[in-house]
Structure 1
Amino acid sequence: MAFFKRELSPVERFEAALKSKEAERQSLAGRLRVAETVFAEQRADTERLAVAGASNAKLERAEAKLRSVEDRAKTLRAALSEIDEQIVATERALADARSQREREALADNIEALASSIEQAVPGFAAGATALVRAVTRGGASVPEASKFAASVDAVRSEVLSAADLLCWELRSVAMRTRAGNANVALLAPPEATQPRIPEIERHLVYTLNPLLWREGSEVRKVPAFARVELPKTLLALALRDQHVDYLNARRVQTLMHVHGIGATSGDNLPDDTQFIDLDALAADQQAHVNVA
């Protein structure tokens, strides 16, 4: 029966290499200490022979032995210096491998989160659809029930599009994490969002043109190809004239891949002449209604 050894991971390989090189260094250091001791003793013996007036033959033999011992000590010192450099390089490679292992584990967790969201989405969609059917199944037309069903359907559409976008963003983050260039802000606390005006109902959409509108004394400006929470009072008008579209629209998914997830208000805004004034469009529409 054949047995196969498990392939070592990069971290395990570098750990084994580091352990081997440290053992080799310890052995070289011990041999160098012995060589230096022998060299010191041989130098003392050669010195004594010279002081005692030994014959030339004895002195030559002593000097040759001293040179041999000295050369051996020099060789061991060079080998020890080389193994020290190898240990430093191996420690650096081991640290990089450990960092990559941590990034891989984090990326796996992020991808698992995206997968769990995708698996949960059909259940949510089916539940919301069943709820809408239950509300609208009766023959009687009740305004409150119809309004509730419309709200549920709108929430369902918004959640599905947001889930698709979130899963795409999570997988992008996982890919950047594996490559070692993930945005550190992923793990940072979320930035405080701008306070909303509570009485304004909004819907998250994607802009196709630069837009502006007014909320009290504030003028809101948003560039093209950006996600924005548009007041619902302006939503139908903006959708009709194709200035915005829902996040789950096919063309919006393509545009988000081309332009990213979208700039935020205040980034790379065009000049004022290029903005489409939604308030002016709404006023013009109302004027036509009044005339009619």
Structure 2
Amino acid sequence: MAFFKRELGPVERFENALKEKQAARQKLADRLSATETVLAEKRGEAEKLAVAGAANAKLARAEARLRSVEDQVRTLRAALAECDEQVVTTERALADAKAQRDRDRIADEIEAMAAAIERAAPAFNLGANALVTAVTKSVASVGEATRFATSVDAVRREVISAADLICWELRSAAVRTRAGNVNLLLPAPAEPVEPPSPEIERQLIYTLNPLLWREGGEVRRVPAFARVGLPIKLLSVALRHHHVDHLSARRVQTLMHVHGSGRIHGDINPDDPQLVDLDALASGETESGKSETSKSEPPKSETAKSETVTPEKAKSESPKANVA
């Protein structure tokens, strides 16, 4: 006995393909999650070494391990994105197949209605002809019967003509239903947002701690490990206290590799205990400098006393002047 495998329809084929792609996507997502956990650990190790000021060789090895895991994460993310696109494409194809199946079902019902009308029309034609023949072939002539036969014949011709017309219209509607129409609306393009122009002289620097300062009555807060434009007047004090470092510094390059080189956006808690007030730090240095300067200057009373000329000293110096 020969067994024949049933051929799957479009909906069943797309459903099976969607299940396979969803299973493959779940495997990729699990692998990506595990690799991202390893990446977080490698970033933490590299960050600790950089903050602790480890040797360049250690930093290089940490960066190499971090870069290897980052490559794996990047590859898995690309594969996951491609798998997501395939899943979306398959879902769209499945939805189209289901919609087409529903349209075909409705079109088949419309065509079946047209076929049923075509099958019923000859029987109606025969019955109407039989009524007309029953009147016209009779020997007796009655006006009411003649008028009845004339009306039946007129209705017969009208019904047959209407049946042909409605069958043509039904088949046209079936074709339109089977084809279907979809109107796509294109989204309006987003307008680009231009960044505000800087008003204060700044220098691009990398932060090692969360910082805050004031500009024109507005308090600015930036997180740690971010590339920001710091006002020039606050740059020296931030560098002296090791709250920032230059972009060319070796540890900054490692930290930028761990945390990224772009500007980090986000709200900072004003009550963060690690937040450093650069304005307060600068004003504290200015006050301490003034106090040290005042301590180094001698008292004015002692200077005036040393420069006072006594009468005895004037008498002792006057003969020398006369001799001269």
TM-score by length of 1: 0.57
Equivalence for 1:120:
120
- The Cα shift of 1:45 comes to 2.9
Instruction: Could you tell me which runs of 5 or more consecutive residues in structure 2 were left unpaired when the two chains were aligned.
Output: 183-324
Equivalence for 2:31:
31
- The Cα shift of 1:48 comes to 4.2
Read off the aligned partner of 2:101 and give its amino acid letter: R
Deviations 1:85-130 (A, max 9, x none): 2222222222222221111111101100000001111111111111
Equivalence for 1:263:
none
* Alpha carbons of structure 1 residues 98 and 129: separation in structure 2 relative to 1, 3 Å: same
Deviations 1:130-181 (A, max 9, x none): 1122223321111111111111111111111111111111111111221225
Aligned length: 182
RMSD of aligned C-alpha atoms?
A: 2.3
- The Cα shift of 1:42 comes to 2.1
Equivalence for 1:149:
149
Read off the aligned partner of 1:18 and give its amino acid letter: L
Whole-Å Cα distance in 2 between the matches of residues 114 and 142 of structure 1?
A: 39
Say whether 1:137 aligns with 2:137.
yes
Read off the aligned partner of 1:77 and give its amino acid letter: R
Whole-Å Cα distance in 1 between the matches of residues 164 and 146 of structure 2?
A: 27
Whole-Å Cα distance in 2 between the matches of residues 147 and 48 of structure 1?
A: 109
Whole-Å Cα distance in 2 between the matches of residues 144 and 51 of structure 1?
A: 114
Read off the aligned partner of 1:100 and give its amino acid letter: Q
Equivalence for 1:45:
45
Equivalence for 1:103:
103
Whole-Å Cα distance in 2 between the matches of residues 143 and 48 of structure 1?
A: 115
Say whether 1:158 aligns with 2:158.
yes
Deviations 1:229-267 (A, max 9, x none): xxxxxxxxxxxxxxxxxxxxxxxxxxxxxxxxxxxxxxx
Equivalence for 1:8:
8
Task: Report 1 or 2 for greater relative contact order, CA contacts < 8 Å, sequence distance ≥ 6.
Answer: 2
**Structure showing greater Rg:** 2
Instruction: Could you tell me which runs of 5 or more consecutive residues in structure 1 were left unpaired when the two chains were aligned.
Output: 183-292
Equivalence for 1:70:
70
Read off the aligned partner of 2:171 and give its amino acid letter: R
Say whether 1:179 aligns with 2:170.
no
Give secondary structure in 1 for the equivalent of 2:103. Answer: helix
Percent identity, please. Answer: 69
Map 1:190-205; keep pairs closer than 5 Å. Answer: none
